[in-house]
Amino acid sequence: MKADPRGVLTGVYYIDGDVAAGYGALAAGCKFVAGYPITPSTEAFEAICHRGPQVGAVFIQMEDELGSISAIIGATWSGVKTMTITSGPGYSLMQECIGFGAMLETPFVLLNIQRGGPSTGVPTKTGQADMMQSRWGSHGDYELIAIAPESPQEMFDYTIKAFNLAEKYRCPIMIMSDECVGHMTEKVVIPEADKIEVEPRRLYTGPAEDYLPFKPEPDLVPKMAKAGDGLKLYITGQTHDERGYPVKDAEYKSKYGRRLVDKIRLNKDKIIELKEEGTDNADVIVVSYGISSRVAIKGVELAREKGIKVGTLRLVTVWPFPDEKMSELAKKAKAFVVPEINYGQVVYDVARCAHGRANVVLVPHGGAGVHNPNDIADAIEMAAKEDKKIEGLIEFKTRLEKSVFEGGFKLKE
């Protein structure tokens, strides 16, 4: 289905990533946004606040993030496409209802402009330390999809993709951007509405008495419904059967709980998007996502100037994780280098897939800034020179860390 031209602001713009994501949401047909403003995501609010009422999208500033995410889930069940926007502390508050949304198989989009943490952290500067939280932040077993854009253009494009994935797999989608991409101002091209594909809601259309809100279709995703259609919905956050009625026994918990993870795991080949370059004959492969993949371009260039064979694998979707791809590359390459703005999160999944067949080097960064590309280049060089297989993670000592710690903290006797 093509996008409704009403929400599409066709043209060429010079805007930041936050605003581009806001425009992307409206282009995707988002009709309800609830949020509580927080730096560095506020520009996305402003874009929706300004444009939304002109294109039939309602914006409400809620009392907190708990209320914001509850409201968008309610609005999704009333039949519209929805989004909420947040960062750091707000993202932590939203975890309660991310699990609720996953449990109810509610399509919605959550835009998280990551900032330095934990707690209040560094509110105005960047971080990539919410990645594991985006996977397992709420209690219980569930799987969802996380996307990491690296430019304002991608913020527009992948926000639309996020809405489409939400409808397709009936689950919450996390856009795990960060302050750097959110506040980066670049050229953004918004195409004509008829060039934008949008996924309509998979609504049930049969007789009311036959509807089962959690009966899976062949792709394991059930048909969605909305309040007000006389379906007498019984929808609960308790583990439920196909009717939606609560179940308590272990066999039912297995039977109905399992599908929440399997509908993503078994469809992951269709979900995962990667950008791979020069990996065929590479000794070292740089695995990165979001702003770090943007910074890594320079690091890779510097390493190639020294004659090192470097390939890159960019995780556009970070979750679900591309296990098979990573395992396959681990058989061919000597090492993976993983720059991320945290003290090691996604790198552990790289190491799991490498399984001792290739070395894994983490290039850490504490946040409030991005990597120095020279560090990435040096880490690549170090990895290329290492001929031994090293067990466990190798942590590269960055220039920044050397300058402030003189080589890192040590326990004193």
Partner 1 sequence: MNSIIDALDKGIEMAGIARKRISVPSDIPFDPDAVKTLGVDYFQIPRGRAIAFGTGLKLGNPDLKVIPVAGDLMTLGGNHFVHGSRRNMELLVICVNNFVYKNIGGKPAPFTQAVFSPYSTFEEPFNFPHLGNSCGAVYTARWTALHAEELAASIAEALNKRGLSMIEVLAPGPNYYRSIDGIESELLQFYFNNSVVKNNEDPRNVAITPDEKIAVGKFTDKERPTFIDSYNVQHSKMLGDKFTPHGSPPKVEKLGGKNG
Question: Nearest-CA neighbor of 316 among 334, 294, 342?
Answer: 294
The amino acid occupying position 9 is L
Which residue type occupies 260?
A: L
End-to-end CA distance of the chain: 67
Q: For residue 128, give every residue at least 6 positions away whose Cβ sits within 8 Å of its Cβ, in sequence order, or none.
A: 114, 176, 178, 289, 290, 291, 292, 340, 341, 342, 345, 367
Encoded one letter per residue, x for contact with partner 1 by CB under 8 A and - for no contact, window 356-395 reads ----------------------------------------
Which residue is associated with the tokens 């290739």?
Answer: 358
Among 189, 194, 203, 245, binds partner 1 (CB under 8 A): 245
Rank residues 76 and 288 by Cβ distance to partner 1 and give the closer one: 76
Choose one: 20-28, 37-45, 66-74, 392-400; the region binding partner 1 (CB under 8 A). 66-74
Binding window for partner 1 (CB under 8 A); candidates: 13-21, 95-103, 159-167, 248-256: 95-103
| Range in contact with partner 1 (rule: CB under 8 A) among 233-241, 281-289, 347-355, 358-366 | 233-241
Whichever of 105 and 349 has its CB closer to partner 1, that residue is 105
Task: Give me the residue label for tokens 């903290």.
Answer: 409
Tokens of 400: 């920044």
Task: Answer yes or no whether residue 37 interacts with partner 1 by CB under 8 A.
Answer: no
Kind plus residue range of the DSSP H or E element containing 118: none
Rounding to the nearest 10 degrees, give the CA dihedral for residues 281, 285, 287, 293.
-90
Binding mask 107-146 for partner 1 (x = CB under 8 A): ----------------------------------------
Tally of residues, the chain: 413
Find the part of the chain contacting partner 1 (CB under 8 A) among 68-76, 109-117, 140-148, 258-266: 68-76
Under rule CB under 8 A, residue 229 binds partner 1: yes
Kindly tell me the sign of the dihedral angle through the C-alpha atoms of 140, 141, 145, 146: positive
The stretch near partner 1 (CB under 8 A) out of 30-38, 85-93, 198-206, 391-399 is 30-38
Query: Judged by CB under 8 A, which of 206, 230, 307, 407 binds partner 1?
Result: 230
**Least distance from C-beta 216 to partner 1, angstroms?**
20
**Which lies closer to partner 1 via its Cβ, residue 71 or residue 300?**
71
- Show contacts with partner 1 in window 71-90 (CB under 8 A): 71-80, 82
Of positions 42, 60, 122, 277, contacts partner 1 by CB under 8 A: 60
Rounded to a whole number of angstroms, the minimum distance from the CB of residue 243 to partner 1 is: 7
Retrieve residue 353's tokens.
């897939």
- Residue 49 binding partner 1, by CB under 8 A: no
If one asks whether residue 56 binds partner 1 (CB under 8 A), the answer comes out as: yes
Nearest to partner 1 of 82, 288 (CB atom): 82
Computed over its alpha carbons, how large is the radius of gyration of the chain?
Answer: 22
Judge contact between 378 and 367, C-beta under 8 A. no
58 is a contact residue toward partner 1 (CB under 8 A): yes
Among 139, 232, 410, 412, binds partner 1 (CB under 8 A): 232
CB 193 within 8 A of CB 166: no
The least CB distance from residue 230 to partner 1, in Å, is 4
In sequence order, the 6+-apart residues with CB closer than 8 A to the CB of 185 are: 14, 15, 16, 152
Q: How far is the CB of 69 from partner 1 (least distance, A)?
A: 8
Q: Who's near 411: CB < 8 A, 6+ residues apart?
A: none
- Judged by CB under 8 A, the residue of 63, 210, 406, 413 near partner 1 is 63
Residue 313's closest CA among 302, 304, 326? 326
CA–CA separation, 85 and 38 (whole Å): 9
**Torsion angles phi and psi, residue 186, rounded to 5:** -145, 175
CB contact set of 176 (below 8 Å; sequence gap of 6+): 112, 114, 128, 130, 131, 134, 146, 147, 148, 289, 290, 318
Amino acid at 169: Y
Q: Could you tell me the smallest distance in angstroms from the CB atom of residue 330 to partner 1?
A: 41
Minimum CB–partner distance for residue 108 and partner 1 (Å): 10
Structure tokens that stand for 184 in this block:
């980066």
In the window 246-275, what residues touch partner 1 (CB under 8 A)? Answer: 246
User: Site residues for partner 1, window 272-311 (CB under 8 A)?
Assistant: none
**Residue from 122, 193, 233, 261 that binds partner 1 (CB under 8 A)?**
233
Residues that bind partner 1 (CB under 8 A): 31-32, 34, 53-54, 56, 58, 60, 62-64, 66-68, 70-80, 82, 96-97, 100, 226-238, 243-246
